[in-house]
Amino acid sequence: MLEHLARKWSRKEKQSVPAELDRSGKIPQHVAVIMDGNGRWANMRNLPRVAGHRAGMKTVKEVVKAADEIGVRYMTMYAFSTENWKRPRDEVDFLMKLPQEFLSTELDELVERNVRIRMLGSKEKLPAHTLKALHEAEERTYENQGLQLCFALNYGGRDEIVKAFSVLASKVKAGELDPEALDEEAVSRYLYTSDIPDPDLLIRTSGEIRLSNFMLWQLAYTELWFTDVLWPDFTREHFYQAIVEYQGRARRYGAV
Active site residues: 36, 84
Q: Tell me whether residue 67 or residue 134 sits nearer to ligand V07 (CB atom).
A: 134
Check binding of 225 to ligand V07 (CB under 6 A).
Answer: no
Which of 27, 49, 50, 80 contacts ligand V07 by CB under 6 A? 80
Nearest to 29 by CA among 80, 76, 61: 76
Which of 41, 74, 102, 246 contacts ligand V07 by CB under 6 A? 102
Q: Tell me whether residue 99 or residue 157 sits nearer to ligand V07 (CB atom).
A: 99
How far apart CA 250 and CA 231 sit, in angstroms, is 25
Minimum distance, C-beta of residue 23 to ligand V07, in the bound complex (Å): 27
Check binding of 74 to ligand V07 (CB under 6 A).
Answer: no
For residue 208, say whether it is annotated as part of any ligand binding site: no
How far apart CA 205 and CA 226 sit, in angstroms, is 6
- Contacts of residues 50-57 at CB distance under 8 Å and 24 or more positions apart, as own/partner, are 50/90, 50/91, 50/94, 52/232, 53/91, 53/94, 53/95, 53/98, 54/98, 55/232, 56/231, 56/232, 57/98, 57/101, 57/102
For residue 130, say whether it is annotated as part of any ligand binding site: no
C-alpha 238: how far from its chain's center? 15
197: DSSP letter: P
Task: Kindly give the interhelix angle for 236-255 and 49-70, rounded to the nearest 10 degrees.
Answer: 50
Which of 103, 186, 216, 224 contacts ligand V07 by CB under 6 A? 103
Q: Site map for ligand V07, 119-148, x if CB under 6 A?
A: ---------------x--x-----------
Give the number of residues in contact with ligand V07, rule: CB under 6 A.
19
Summarize the annotated binding site for substrate as residue ranges: 37-41, 49, 53, 81-83, 85, 87, 204, 210-212
Summarize the annotated binding site as residue ranges: 36-41, 49, 53, 81-83, 85, 87, 204, 210-212, 223
